[in-house]
Amino acid sequence: MKIKTVKVGYLETNCYIVSINDECLIIDPGDEIDKIIKEIGNLKPVGIIITHYHFDHIGALNQLVNKYNVKVIDYKLEEKEYIINSFKFKLIYTKGHDNTCITIYFEQEKIMFVGDFIFKDSIGRIDLENSNELDMINSINKIKKYPNDITLYPGHGEITNLEYEKENNIYLKNAQ
């Protein structure tokens, strides 16, 4: 599995192009469709994953759905394992920052795409419309049960891992 990070929009949202062989998933196409299409290149998109429905994560969504005629994977689906061609992942509800938040877990690769749920040394804001502190605490406690060696790909900022966050992120350390 290869992962390209494409920073898009004025909030520098991390849009990810996740590929296996000649196919890809597009995660959080927040803006700058031309930039995203350029990074996709000759890959064949087989789905678009939306970690949550804030504007900076969906700005290019409709245009990409129309261009590639692919399905959207989001909070409307069940919390379970999915297989799309060569891609096998689990969809995990991680509400808190927004009530549409999901995490995508590629168990074999030990990778999670967490959107604005967890950032390096922080978490997503919970003072916004449709955010909820109790949901965030429940989501943190759910994610803390996963193995330490998982790499986290957030919606903004740098990549981190679950062990580091469990040890250093005050929000994960203090969640009860």
CB atoms within 10 A of CB 108: 9
Q: Residue 127 belongs to a domain with what CATH number?
A: 3.60.15.10
CB atoms within 10 A of CB 76: 9
Helices (H) and strands (E) counted in the chain, each on its own, are: 6, 13
Number of domains in the chain: 1
pTM: 0.95
The model's pLDDT over 36-92, given as tens digits with 9 standing for 90+, comes to 999 999 999 999 999 999 999 999 999 999 999 999 999 999 999 999 999 999 999
Under a CB-based contact definition with an 8 Å cutoff, are residues 44 and 19 in contact?
no
**What residues make up the domain containing 27?**
2-174
